[in-house]
Amino acid sequence: MTLGTFIHQKSYERIEYEIRKHPFTLVPIFIGFLALAAAPFGLYFLLSSIAPAILDGQLTMPVLILLASFYYLSIGLFLYTYFVTFYLDLLIITNDRLLHIQQQNLFARTISEVDLNKVQDVTSEVHGFFPSLFNYGTLEIQTASATEKFIVMKIPHPETLRQVILDLAVEDAKHHHTEKP
Amino acid sequence: MVILSRMIIISFYVILFLYAFFLLAFLIFTMINIGHLVSTGTFTTTSFAATFLFITYSVIILGLTWFQVAEIDWQQQVTIWNPTWLSGAASFNQPY
């Protein structure tokens, strides 16, 4: 399946941009993963100094190995699931509409869309040290449709995207005007 | 409070069953993740690379686990409860 099929792309429609959150937003979770991965080593050195018999026990040692395996597989799966959630959270800009796919978690997804000719106002905001350094921020799209406001957070180059959306909205409005008899 | 008066002994391989049950859940969640990527048309080079890294990581962990536990005798019996462990607790009911 392609992304076009997923969003029911129309025959005249072309996907202009696929925008995900800035990759830097993955860094804290990756640091957390490394810290969690290092924790059992600390526990191992603690046990080896205060209760070495536990590590050599005929029964305790296999249990600890299976627990460690369970732990490392769990944190790996957590990181992978976080990445999938991150990767599925997507703003799609076509020459006809905007689609915001919000993947809250593995079992919760919201898809909202608005025609470009319904876009009234677009605001970009870059706020904070890391957002300013890596140029990511929030994009607020005010619309005249039932979904009044699109808020897309932590996306890269919000100022550029703001201008892109406004330009595409103007183009789409021209197209809609010429369609009128 | 009910205190079991009999010893409870289990075979060590019960722990392996618990681990196998976890592996099944792990496999299901992995398939759900990959299924999401494929069904939404987002199985690109980036997501393929992430999936490949995750599978490699999982195979390494499982391989190391197997290497560590291959020699263990899983048929041995384990006492998980023995009422004599609490025999000292009876002194709580003794009068002063």
Set of chain B residues whose Cβ sits within 8 Å of the Cβ of A83 = 47, 50
User: What angle in degrees, to the nearest 10, is found between the helix axes of A60-88 and A27-50?
Assistant: 170
- For residue A55 the two structure tokens come to 């590590």
CB A127 within 8 A of CB A89: no
pLDDT in tens, B24-63: 999 999 999 999 999 998 899 999 999 999 999 999 999 9
B19/A1 Cβ within 8 A: no
The packing angle between helices B13-39 and B45-69, to 10°, is: 170
**pLDDT tens track for A14-59:** 999 999 999 999 999 999 999 999 999 999 999 999 988 888 888 8
Instruction: List CB contacts (< 8 A) between A6 and chain B.
Output: 39-41
Q: Is B42 on the interface with A (CB under 8 A)?
A: yes
Q: Per residue in A112-163, pLDDT tens? A: 999 998 899 999 999 999 999 999 999 999 988 776 788 999 999 999 999 9
Q: CA dist A43 to B19, B58, B61, B67, Å?
A: 21, 22, 18, 21
Q: ipTM value, please give it.
A: 0.86
Find residue A139's DSSP bridge partners: A124, A152
Q: Return the DSSP state at A157.
A: -
A88: burial class by Cβ within 10 Å (0-12, 13-18, 19+)? Answer: buried
Contact A73/B29, CB-based, under 8 Å?
no
Judged by CB atoms closer than 8 Å, whether chains meet at A69 and B41 is answered as no
Contact A70 B19 (CB under 8 A): yes
Residues B61, A62: C-beta atoms closer than 8 Å: no
The reply to whether B36 touches chain A by the CB within 8 Å rule is yes
The structure tokens 């100022």 sit at A159
Q: CB–CB of A129/A144 below 8 Å?
A: no
A147: closest CA among A104, A109, A118? A118
The closest CB to that of A1, out of B22, B26, B38, belongs to B38
